């Protein structure tokens, strides 16, 4: 393989063969290809794109660059969900134990916060002792015996993607649909999945700002994943306001516990979780249709079985044995908790959702640099949903901060991010479209 000839072909808009792509990815993995060549390849793909067949080949080659998990000894179908990220999006925490209680094995490999969006691993690290990087054997045993485990990407999973992404990140080639597709799916397929449901967020708190962008990415991922042999569909969901009524690591764990205890029925978070659960169960063949899948998911939640599985998962991965009953005592609490007063009476009509995510980072609840320490205590809770009415001075939300100065800044940021109108507002549906 001559790397520059592959780069030249893609630069000229030619279709690469699967063997050329596999050779390039192998060179990427063993460092035979320079960073300059990788950057040139990424830029060529950015401008010229890739066909479905090329993207499948890229995905499979990056998947096979590291360990591919096997679940041959697990007597359950194996499936997962992946979100493109949002604010107050703690869906994985509730979704994994719900579908596990319905008979699905869920080896969920999640990430940390990216930009203004929160990360599932950062949330779970609010739980004392929780280890998001267990040994492969412990991960396997937890999924096999409990039904679900939520962990982070290790160095053995799709290492070629890790190097390619790092170079894309500094060469302005992140926003390429084929490269995004290959990056997401190489890691997911390395998890040994048989089915996958994608949650493509769209709106002012998402990376995809328009429905056209969301549909393009959803269609690419669905086509490529199915082309790689994994039954996949995608839900496009609204991210024009925080999904949960909170944003911040420990606060979102507390919300998840309240959800699993049955306190969030009828909320936007409940609608999203149940829609994704139903889709996962249908894709896995554990339900014949959406209606029966919803009935199973609701039964798993209402019976307390999903809650019990979450507690068992936490304990298996190093968390407290009594977390299920004593979670309020274990989660860290901010020393300063203050209301965000509404500047006038009215109906909440809009949120600048990305700005709320950035305000959480400003409180210390996210990272400006990869090595930044996270303050898991901080964020916003009791966020009024769009369409709710508030009186002047009534809390729009509660801010949780490390000190008074940080609280004052966050209060100002949140007020700037909220729009109040004189009349009632129409609620947006959470699930906007399904791509199959």
User: Among 10, 63, 82, 162, which one carries the catalytic annotation?
Assistant: 82
User: Among 29, 59, 117, 120, which one carries the catalytic annotation?
Assistant: 120
User: Among 10, 123, 140, 187, which one carries the catalytic annotation?
Assistant: 187
Active site residue 82: yes
User: Among 112, 116, 188, 307, which one carries the catalytic annotation?
Assistant: 188
Active site residue 369: no
User: Among 10, 123, 140, 168, which one carries the catalytic annotation?
Assistant: 168
Q: Distances from the Cα of 179 to the Cαs of 47, 168, 224, 301, in angstroms?
A: 11, 9, 12, 37
In degrees and rounded to multiples of 5, residue 384 shows phi and psi of -65, 130
Residues 6+ apart with CB under 8 A from 241: 205, 268, 350, 351, 353, 385, 386
Q: Distances from the Cα of 153 to the Cαs of 20, 133, 319, in angstroms?
A: 27, 8, 19
Q: What is the three-class DSSP state of 56? A: helix
- The crossing angle, in degrees rounded to 10, of helices 211-227 and 52-63 is 60
User: Among 29, 55, 65, 83, which one carries the catalytic annotation?
Assistant: 83
CA dihedral 141, 199, 209, 429 (to 10 degrees): -140
Active site residue 303: no
User: Among 181, 183, 197, 353, which one carries the catalytic annotation?
Assistant: 183
Active site residue 168: yes
Active site residue 81: yes
Q: Distances from the Cα of 159 to the Cαs of 34, 81, 186, 389, in angstroms?
A: 16, 21, 10, 49
Number of H helices, E strands in the chain: 17, 12
- The crossing angle, in degrees rounded to 10, of helices 177-190 and 52-63 is 40
- What does DSSP say about strands 195-202 and 379-381: parallel, antiparallel, or unpaired? unpaired
Rounded CA gap, 308 and 159, in Å?
34
Active site residue 404: no
- What does DSSP say about strands 379-381 and 395-401: parallel, antiparallel, or unpaired? antiparallel
Rounded CA gap, 298 and 139, in Å?
27
Rounded CA gap, 182 and 61, in Å?
9
Tokens of 139: 């991960």
Active site residue 145: no
Rounded CA gap, 83 and 65, in Å?
23
Active site residue 188: yes
First to last CA, the chain: 37
Under 8 Å between Cβ of 227 and 103 = no
Catalytic residue numbers?
Answer: 80-83, 120, 168, 183, 187-188
């Amino acid at each position: 393989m001559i790397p520059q000839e592959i780069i030249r072909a893609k630069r000229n808009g030619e279709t690469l063969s699967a063997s050329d792509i596999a050779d390039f990815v192998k060179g990427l993995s063993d460092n035979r290809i320079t960073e300059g060549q990788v950057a040139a390849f990424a830029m060529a793909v950015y401008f010229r794109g890739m066909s479905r067949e090329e993207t499948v080949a890229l995905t499979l080659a990056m998947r096979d660059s590291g360990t591919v998990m096997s679940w041959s000894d697990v007597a359950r179908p194996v499936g997962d969900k992946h979100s493109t990220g949002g604010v107050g999006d703690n869906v994985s925490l509730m979704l994994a134990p719900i579908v596990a209680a319905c008979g699905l094995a869920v080896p969920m490999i999640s990430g940390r916060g990216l930009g203004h969006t929160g990360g599932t691993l950062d949330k779970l690290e609010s739980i004392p002792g929780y280890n998001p990087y267990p040994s492969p054997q412990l991960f396997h045993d937890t999924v096999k015996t409990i039904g679900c485990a939520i962990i982070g990407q290790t160095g053995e999973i799709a290492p070629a993607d890790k190097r390619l992404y790092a170079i894309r990140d500094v060469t302005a080639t992140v926003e390429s649909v084929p490269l995004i597709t290959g990056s997401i799916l190489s890691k997911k397929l390395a998890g040994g999945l048989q089915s996958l449901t994608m949650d493509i967020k769209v709106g002012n708190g998402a990376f995809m700002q328009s429905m056209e962008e969301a549909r393009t990415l959803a269609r690419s991922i669905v086509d490529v994943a199915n082309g790689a042999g994994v039954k996949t569909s995608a839900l496009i969901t609204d991210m024009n306001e925080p999904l949960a009524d909170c944003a911040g690591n420990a606060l979102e764990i507390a919300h998840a516990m309240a959800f699993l205890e049955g306190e969030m029925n009828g909320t936007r978070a409940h609608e999203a979780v149940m829609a994704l659960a139903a889709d996962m169960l249908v894709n896995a063949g554990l339900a014949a249709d959406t209606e029966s899948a919803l009935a199973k998911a609701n039964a798993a939640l209402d019976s307390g079985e999903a809650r019990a599985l979450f507690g068992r998962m936490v304990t298996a991965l190093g968390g407290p044995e009594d977390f299920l009953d004593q979670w309020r005592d274990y989660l860290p609490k901010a020393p300063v908790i203050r209301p965000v007063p509404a500047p006038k009476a009215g109906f909440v009509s809009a949120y600048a959702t990305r700005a709320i995510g950035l305000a959480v980072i400003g409180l210390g609840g996210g990272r400006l640099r990869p090595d930044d320490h996270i303050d898991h205590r901080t964020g916003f809770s009791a966020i009024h949903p769009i369409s709710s009415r508030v009186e002047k001075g009534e809390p729009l939300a509660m801010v949780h901060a490390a000190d008074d100065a940080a609280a004052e800044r966050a209060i100002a940021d949140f007020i700037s991010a909220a729009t109040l109108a004189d009349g009632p507002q129409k609620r947006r549906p959470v699930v906007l479209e399904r791509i199959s």
